[in-house]
Amino acid sequence: MAPPLLRFTNYLLLSAIATLSTMAIAGAGFAERREVDIRLLVNQDEGFTVMTRKAEILARSAAQRTFDREVLVSDVSVKVTAQNLNQDQAAIILQMIVSRRDWASRPDPKIWSTYFPMAKALLGIQ
């Protein structure tokens, strides 16, 4: 009587391990990265510093909104591109890539962003 019971117990144990492994792998597969592209119109009177601050505000709100609305998103990439009013020139001002965990601990775009100062010269901004 013991050997069939032992086989059945081993079968249940292996089934449980297989099920838990499958769930862990499937759970990891649900994590997503969301990419958000934002266009910011250039105002020559404001200057590059003000435009960079606006880009940070836009990136912050886009990341927060994405994490709030989409529970399965694990990472957000926000790219803010400045564009002239006449649409002939555009340049990336900043790109922010942040995980949900990092954002929850420190929701500050200055920490998680990469800045592109050459955008100032490309757009002809003071």
CA 7 to CA 9: how far, in whole Å?
A: 5
pLDDT of residue 125: 82
CA 65 to CA 70: how far, in whole Å?
A: 8
Q: Which residue has the higher pLDDT, 94 or 46?
A: 94
Does residue 7 belong to any structural domain of this protein?
no
Q: Which range among 21-25, 101-105, 117-121 shows the weakest confidence by mean pLDDT?
A: 21-25
What is the extent of the structural domain holding 53? 33-123
Does residue 92 belong to any structural domain of this protein?
yes
Does residue 56 belong to any structural domain of this protein?
yes
Does residue 102 belong to any structural domain of this protein?
yes
Does residue 4 belong to any structural domain of this protein?
no
- The pLDDT mean for the chain works out to 84
Does residue 60 belong to any structural domain of this protein?
yes
pLDDT one-digit tens code per residue, 17-59: 666 556 555 555 567 899 999 999 988 888 899 999 999 999 9
Sheet holding 90-99, edge to edge: 32-41, 73-83, 90-99, 113-115
Total count of domains within the chain: 1
